[in-house]
Amino acid sequence: MTESQERWERRTDTPLAVASLLFLTGYAVRVLAPGLSDTWRLLCTAVILASWAFFAVDYAVQLRLSGQGLRFLRSHWLDTLVLLLPLLRPLRIVRRYEAVRRRRARPRLSLYARVIVYAGLTVGLLGFTAALTVYHVEHGAPGASIRTFGDAVWWTCATLATVGYGDVTPVTGLGRLTAVGVMACGLGLLGAATGSFSSWLIQTFAWEDEKRPPES
């Protein structure tokens, strides 16, 4: 990474985080408050568009500074994806959380604590975003079972835990596409929960073996 790239990243870090939260907030307000006055609705749209424009400018500058041309699209495929799905943008805040902790000289969390905090923040943000999207797409569809935002949150929780009652399910194509993403996230969550417990057990065993005096 060249020096100019680093300088750009350092400078845009906080504004981007703020913009991604504004984007999510604007989208949430538009979706959840249908009876909004025209002024407020326009404001929300403006915030959404401005945030997204900021993301696009950031992407363009990074593309330019990298000097990689079209190869940048593949080497930074995650950034490309997030540009197209800006609702996933707030996930970068998870990374910022750690940076802030380090700057304040707080002791770094242990690996387990970090896995739990990361998984918790990621699942919380992704879950909220997924519930918003599914509610937005579904609640007006004919034959929909997800009619209120509460239904959407309930459905998201049941999917993330891979329980899947099926009392409310998405029926539109876009809603089901989002659902597949939520399922993949749920599999990851299961993997994190299981993997953490498993490695904790193995660690504890190794520690008990060392502590014990040799038998012979």
Query: Given the rule CB under 8 A, which residues bind a copy of itself?
Result: 111, 115, 150, 154, 157-159, 161-167, 169, 173, 176, 179-180, 183-184, 186-205, 208
Task: Report the residue number, 44 or 160, with the smaller CB distance to a copy of itself.
Answer: 160
Q: CA triplet 44, 170, 174: central angle to 5 degrees?
A: 55
Token representation of residue 13: 């870090």
Q: Report yes or no: 173 and 179 within 8 Å, Cβ to Cβ.
A: no
DSSP string, 69-127: TTHHHHHTHHHHHHHHSGGGGGGHHHHHHHHHHHHTTPPPPPHHHHHHHHHHHHHHHHH
Task: Report the residue number, 47 or 134, with the smaller CB distance to a copy of itself.
Answer: 134
Task: Report the residue number, 46 or 190, with the smaller CB distance to a copy of itself.
Answer: 190
As measured in angstroms, the least distance from the Cβ of 150 to a copy of itself is 7
As measured in angstroms, the least distance from the Cβ of 145 to a copy of itself is 8
CA separation for the pair 89, 21 (Å, rounded): 8
Q: Report yes or no: 146 and 155 within 8 Å, Cβ to Cβ.
A: yes
As measured in angstroms, the least distance from the Cβ of 141 to a copy of itself is 14
Contacts with 167 (C-beta within 8 Å, 6 or more apart), sequence order? 145
Task: Report the residue number, 67 or 191, with the smaller CB distance to a copy of itself.
Answer: 191
Task: Report the residue number, 93 or 179, with the smaller CB distance to a copy of itself.
Answer: 179
As measured in angstroms, the least distance from the Cβ of 7 to a copy of itself is 29
As measured in angstroms, the least distance from the Cβ of 142 to a copy of itself is 15
